Structure formats: structure tokens, C-alpha cells
Amino acid sequence: MTPAQQRRLRRQALTREKRAERLEASARRYLREANQHRRAAGKLRQKANGQLPLPLTAAETTPDRAPPSRSPGVYRLRTERIRQLLAENHLSHAAVATQLGIVKSTWSQAFNRHRKLSAGMRALIREHPVLGAQPEAELWDVEA
């Protein structure tokens, strides 16, 4: 058998394998969709026969008290104090962003109070040699 014939046989075997894989994938997809339709039809039958419970009213789902808040507030940089610290230490915004390990646009958004400070960002600021030496009350405000 020549090398060209061997290559052709390998190529044909690969295409047969690919076809088989495609058929298996489509069969799995068909079975998954059929199961979803079967489940939906079962629920419709139960609903029609009155076997499913009725949905709760708004009064039943509303709690007696408000849920606890997830966070104490939104943290925003105190722009004037940060600007003063950067000027005293001859730092540019690009240098601060690089030292913090964030991109300049993210620093700019945080500095101009367009982006709230995440816990990770606050941790990075606390580790900065200039900004980290200041008390937190001077670095950011907490908005309710």
C-alpha cells in the first residue's frame, strides 16, 4: 500500500469518527430535550388535576420585617485627600495604578468616585506605601 493510500484511509477513518461523535452528540441533545418536554408535560398534567399547590400570595411571601442589609455601605475614595497625598509624594495617577496592580481606567473611576471600592481594592490601597500609611477615615467615605 502506498503512502498516499495510507493517508486516504486515515482521513476516511477520522471522518467516520467525527460523524459518529456528531451523531452521539445530537442523540444526547435529543434525549435531554425529550426529558425536559416530558417533565413539563407531567407538571401540566399535575396542574390540570389539581395536584400542584397554588402559588403563594404576596402577603404570604412578604416577611414581617425587612431583610438585613448585605453590606454596611458603599465605599468611595476621598478625592481631595488622595490628591493632596499624591502631590506631596510626587506621584502620578498612572504610577499609583501601577503600584496597586490595577489598570489606569479603574483607578481613574475610583478616584473620580464613579466606581465604588470593593474589599479587594481597599486591601490593595491599605498595602500601598503612601496611601496605606494613612488612617482609613482619611482615605474613603462610607455612604449609606
The rounded distance, in Å, linking the Cα atoms of 121 and 140 is 12
Residue at 69 is within a domain: no
Residue at 13 is within a domain: yes
Residue at 7 is within a domain: yes
Its domain, for residue 99, covers: 74-143
3-class SS at 76?
Answer: strand
57 with 79, same domain: the answer is no
59 with 82, same domain: the answer is no
Domain count, the chain: 2
For the domain that residue 108 is a member of, what is the CATH number?
Answer: 1.10.260.40
55 with 87, same domain: the answer is no
Q: Which of 40, 63, 86 is the last residue of a domain?
A: 63
Q: In a structure prediction context, what are the per-residue pLDDT tens digits for the chain, which is 144 residues long?
A: 888 888 888 888 878 888 888 889 888 888 888 888 888 887 777 777 776 665 555 555 555 554 544 556 899 999 999 999 999 999 999 999 999 999 999 999 999 999 999 999 999 999 999 999 999 999 999 987
13 with 38, same domain: the answer is yes
Identify the helix (H) or strand (E) that includes residue 121.
helix 119-127
78 with 139, same domain: the answer is yes
Residue at 117 is within a domain: yes
Do the beta carbons of residue 139 and residue 125 sit within 8 Å? yes
pLDDT value, residue 82:
94
